[in-house]
Amino acid sequence: MKQSIAVLITCHNRKAKTLACLDALYNANLPDNSEMDVFLVDDGSTDGTYEAIKSMFSDVNLIKGSGNLFWAGGMRLAWETALKNNDFNYFLLLNDDVILFPDYFSNIQLIINTPNSDNSLYSAATIDQETNEITYGALKVKRKYPFPKYEKLYPNGQLQECDMTNANILLVSCKITKTIGILDSRYTHGIADYDYSLRARKAGFSAYLLPKVHGFCSDDHGNNWAPS
């Protein structure tokens, strides 16, 4: 039986990065027992992103946003659309500025083939292509009181349990989605991914950082496409 994966992406006015993300995604090594459908929300781009995706990646389920969705709203719309289209085993939340490494799907397949793997979220770390520094991935709570303190986790060759995850590359099982739903509508842009992992853990699920880095992504979030 094939594992079906819905890849969820949203974008706004960074055509070159979005196209590079899709190119890397479609060139990744998808195992024979897996299949993916891509659901991408273009949130009111004015730089030709929508037209370019439609022309170059005809397999993408392309959805027009209002221009006021921002990241969290766009991802919710992509997720809602995917849920209406098929009974997917997994949902892969992917930022449109991530260059996914070719071995991501083959490596994640080894994990999701293990018993009870659908009880966990799996975040993959990204690095800056120029500095090789870890940019996104997962955090571990070091102290809760009197003020919370977190530390960034670094891939060490093993699965590492974490408390909060980024959703630059985040795999969510159907089981988790059916239990806690999708990203909370209270969040417009950022923080929604941290909240989701915390909600999953509160519901009894686990969250892990994958053993190795799985993509390039610069730490430039917040420079554009944020609510004023």
Mean pLDDT of 139-157: 83
Specify the pLDDT at position 147: 66
Average pLDDT estimate for 67-93: 95
Confidence (pLDDT) at 149: 77
Residue 179 CB coordination number (10 Å): 14
Residue pair 189/146 in contact (Cβ under 8 Å)? The answer is no
φ/ψ of residue 7, rounded to 5: -90, 125
- Region 154-178 average pLDDT: 97
Question: What would the mean pLDDT of 100-122 be, rounded to a whole number?
Answer: 95
Residues of the chain by 3-state class (helix, strand, coil), percent to 5: 30, 30, 45
How much is the CA Rg of the chain, to the nearest whole Å?
16
Q: In which element (H, E) is residue 147 found?
A: none
Which of the four pLDDT bands, split at 50, 70 and 90, describes residue 191? confident
Q: What is the DSSP letter of 191?
A: S
pTM of the model: 0.93
